[in-house]
A and B are shown apart, each in its own frame.
Chain A
């Protein structure tokens, strides 16, 4: 009980926690695993995506260069002769028109002499015959067919590339083209990685060759400008697989992947803001978090409702038991859950009803026991009917008895002595009254009154009353022997009479007695008063009934107080137990 008081909501908390966890744990596990796998998938997808973007960007840059080299190939198909080649001059001029990125073309014959130079800005030359056989573009193209120079920055700003191509045999010579790399801008600015991602190109010494923001390229080999791009490239090259994260010029995180461009040994780097690249992951994580939060809220509501539903009847039961324990038997536990708890409450209510009934019966029996013999009381109770005790007129045998010389004795003896004598006396008589199922109506001091045949009628009431009286005399006479040895001079007399009397309960509230009213009571009382020690006096009515069964001595008519005529009185003979023995 005290433990319950200390934790009044212990069960609720337990139920709530269990129900809540039962929903939230699987939900969380599911959410977390989904987030984790989603993250991994997205990373793998990003890896793939950026790789593809990088390769495709590289292919487009390669395509730009291939477009140039493909056109240049036309100029190195036929062998040179010693004569000026007018057709080839026109071809070269047309090529300039065709490919805007080419700034100038130098055609070198099989022996390495310059035969033609055409330019957009510079002055054209024909047949200058300058020996260019030892220059890097010519030797490079002769050994590798296609040769790319390093990127050069005109006035430290405008990027140029020199491309040289040789034909399928030495006699067709070599064509050297100067390419303005600003025109890659059209290609590079058209590459979009996701929403805001882009690509840029770096050459071998990590200078910008192409970038959507042309001014970054035009800063040439400016270290401060190049640093973030170099860092990104460095990161992706050292990682060697997939994409890596780096920081751009503004310091924001970016995802970076790279792909090589074989010819000029450039690298295409694609970058995408990490926030955008991981956008779907973040979205998924937020979604998961929101779902978890919502799930937890729902679970707590559900758990609260369920725990409440489970503990509320238990609380009602608890409260009910307390109230019933406090004696409120009219209290009923109201539970309408339609389950075992309701059944429990119903059976509890039934039990309480039984308990109340039983309690009531106990009280009633306790009351009846005060004047009825236990077995009679039980009987009355089983009948479950108080009408038996209601006033009515019936034939009863009234037995009175009291001690002779008790008043003198009580005046002499100590109170302990008096109480000891009385206690022995009543113990003996009570035993006998119970044995004969007689009704004790009242006792005062040393005298008492017993009814036979009321409230429960018995067979042969007169005989039974006589037997009762005889047994009383025998028992008390035994006590008297004992008392006399202790020096107390006490005797015992009994009187009984039979006749009609009004019997019933009299008294108030819980203080009730059962008694008989009528002249037969007076008669019995007078006979008792008249009886000497060892004497049982009875009236004619009793004597008449028991005369064949007992030995009676008619004492003749006697004057009895309260009666005008003399009445015949009989003495019943009995043998004391010591006599019988």
Chain B
């Protein structure tokens, strides 16, 4: 009897193992992406999914991704966030502060990865501290206020003779730390700036007309997912306006912006994917330190420079990680 039991046990172990192995792929992790527009979804597919697959979460096999995009209608985000939470995803990825705020309002239990916070998440009250967020929100911050100032300074240093710089913000950025930081840097560096606020693609034409008529001789396009989404259109309008432009992302230079200076987006998205993977594996968001970006890139588009008929100083080219010719 005893021997037979043992025999049955010996047979059962491999059976159990194979059934376990067979069951493992059946567990499908669900990730919800909350984004103001399709750009966030595009970036996620292009940069995050390969990294997640490398970390063992392959879409279609053990990962399903649901995209909730507001399609530039920011006011829809809170409702979308509620819809997303209703689908009970394992992790929410929130693109940009508006989406983070909406997701946080919708849930305090499902972990939220900030991809990325433009502003200080501790100051915003989303996290207790950088090293121990303490809630359900963690992720990557972008150092936007500092970098926005840095971009203005860089534009000014590159073209010291151009004294009238226009700064284009999204209308939601009015009076944000970023807005204030740019003002402060301008004041400190003695640069005359004029801020323009636009609410979306429909207004671009009018805003650029206003910029042109203001007599601006250089343009900074401030950060924001909406501008990243419309990079090509904005670059075209800037070229039409005949102003050298500095943008948030190096990849915007590829779309026609003269200078793109900011965070290495690919590296940042790898970090976002790492956050998602760790959370899916069960690590608590409250214990997961919020990260700053580590690598920065400068891209210069010489084609745009040529079209504008301006010389790009060597100091800028010396710093450039990428020169588009």
Q: A121-B150, A157-B130, A219-B132 are in contact. Are A183 and B185 (CB under 8 A)?
A: no
Please report A residues at the B interface, Cβ cutoff 8 Å: 89-90, 93-94, 96-97, 100, 119-124, 153-158, 180, 182-183, 214-215, 218-220, 222
Q: A94-B319, A215-B288, A219-B289 are in contact. Are A156 and B294 (CB under 8 A)?
A: no
Knowing A121-B146, A158-B292, say if A220 contacts B131 (CB, 8 Å). yes
Whole-angstrom distance between the Cβ of A404 and the nearest chain B Cβ: 98
Chosen A-B contacts, 13 in total, with CB atoms closer than 8 Å, are A90-B314, A93-B318, A97-B319, A97-B321, A121-B143, A121-B296, A123-B150, A123-B189, A124-B157, A183-B295, A218-B131, A218-B289, A218-B290
User: Within the complex, which residue of A119, A180, A222 is in contact with B131, where a contact is CB–CB below 8 Å?
Assistant: A222
A182 to B267, CA, bound (A): 13
Q: Which residues of A contact B292 (CB under 8 A)?
A: 154, 157-158
CB-based contact B289/A122 at 8 Å: no
Chain B 289-311 interface 0/1 with A at a Cβ cutoff of 8 Å (1 = within): 11110111010000000000000
Beyond A97-B318, A215-B289, A219-B289, is A157–B131 a contact (Cβ under 8 Å)?
yes
Q: Which residue of A lies closest to B290 (CB)?
A: A157
Of A93, A124, A182, A219, the residue contacting B294 (CB under 8 A) is A182
Query: A218 with B153: in contact, given A93-B319, A156-B131, A157-B131 (CB under 8 Å)?
Result: no
Q: How far is the CA of A97 from the CA of B321 in the complex (A)?
A: 7
Please state if A123 and B153 are interface contacts (CB–CB under 8 Å). Answer: yes
Q: A93-B315, A121-B150, A122-B150 are in contact. Are A218 and B130 (CB under 8 A)?
A: yes
Q: Which residue of B lies closest to A182 (CB)?
A: B294
CB distance from B45 to the nearest CB of A (A): 25
B→A interface (CB under 8 Å):
122, 129-132, 143, 146-147, 149-150, 153, 157, 185, 188-189, 278, 287-292, 294-296, 298, 314-315, 318-321
Contacts of B287 in A (CB 8 A): 215
B76 to chain A, nearest CB (A): 33
Contact B129 A156 (CB under 8 A): yes
What residues on B are CB-neighbors of A100 within 8 Å? 294-295
| Contact among A93, A153, A218, A222 with B291 in the assembled complex (CB-CB below 8 Å) | A218
- B321 and A121 form a contact (CB under 8 A): no
Write out the residue numbers on chain B whose beta carbons fall within 8 Å of the beta carbon of A96.
319
Across the interface, do B153 and A124 meet the contact criterion of CB distance under 8 Å? Answer: yes
Within the complex, the shortest CB–CB distance from B238 to chain A, in Å, comes to 24
Give, as a whole number of angstroms, the nearest-CB distance from B312 to chain A: 14
Contacts of B185 in A (CB 8 A): 123
Chain A contacts of B320 at CB under 8 A? 97
Q: What residues on B are CB-neighbors of A180 within 8 Å?
A: 294
- The smallest beta-carbon distance between A463 and chain B, in angstroms, is 96
Q: How far is the CB of B278 from chain A (nearest CB, A)?
A: 8
Say yes or no: B294 contacts A155, CB within 8 Å. Answer: no
- Nearest neighbor of A100 in chain B, beta-carbon distance: B295
Give the residues in chain A near B130, CB-CB below 8 Å: 155-158, 218
Instruction: Tell me the complex Cα distance, A183–B296, Å.
Output: 12
Nearest chain A CB to B313 CB, angstrom units: 10
Contacts of A119 in B (CB 8 A): 150
CB distance from B12 to the nearest CB of A (A): 23
Write the chain A residue with the least CB distance to B295: A100
Please, which residues of chain B bring their CB within 8 A of the CB of A222? Answer: 131-132
Evaluate whether A89 and B132 lie within 8 angstroms (CB atoms) in the complex, with A123-B185, A215-B289 already known. Answer: no
> B131 touching A183 by the CB < 8 A rule?
no
7 cross-chain pairs, A with B, having the tightest CB-CB distances, nearest first:
A218-B289, A157-B130, A157-B131, A93-B319, A123-B153, A219-B131, A155-B130
Q: Supply 20 further A-B pairs (C-beta < 8 A) apart from A121-B146, A157-B131.
A: A90-B318, A100-B295, A120-B296, A121-B143, A121-B296, A123-B150, A123-B185, A155-B122, A155-B129, A156-B129, A157-B129, A157-B130, A158-B292, A215-B278, A215-B287, A215-B288, A218-B131, A218-B290, A219-B131, A222-B131
B50 to chain A minimum Cβ distance, whole angstroms, is 19
CA distance A121 to B263 in the complex (A): 10
Residues of chain B contacted by A122 (CB below 8 angstroms): 146, 150
Of the residues B129, B149, B314, B321, contact of A123 by C-beta under 8 Å: B149
| Distance A222 CA – B287 CA, assembled complex (angstroms) | 11
Cβ of A89 and Cβ of B147 under 8 Å apart? no
Docked CA distance A156–B292 (Å) = 12
Tell me the bound Cα distance from A119 to B150 in angstroms. 9
A89: chain B residues at CB < 8 Å are: 315
Closest chain A residue to B130, Cβ basis: A157
Chain A nearest CB from B119 CB (Å) reads: 14
**CA–CA, A158 to B289, complex, Å?**
9
Minimum CB distance partner of B315 in chain A: A90
The closest CB in chain A to the CB of B296 belongs to: A120
Please measure, in the bound complex, the distance between the C-alpha atom of A155 and the C-alpha atom of B291, giving whole angstroms: 11
- Chain A residues lying within 8 Å of B157, measured Cβ to Cβ, are 124
> What is the chain B residue whose CB lies nearest that of A180?
B294
Residues of chain B within 8 A (CB-CB) of A94 are: 318-319
Q: Who on chain A is nearest to B298 by CB?
A: A97
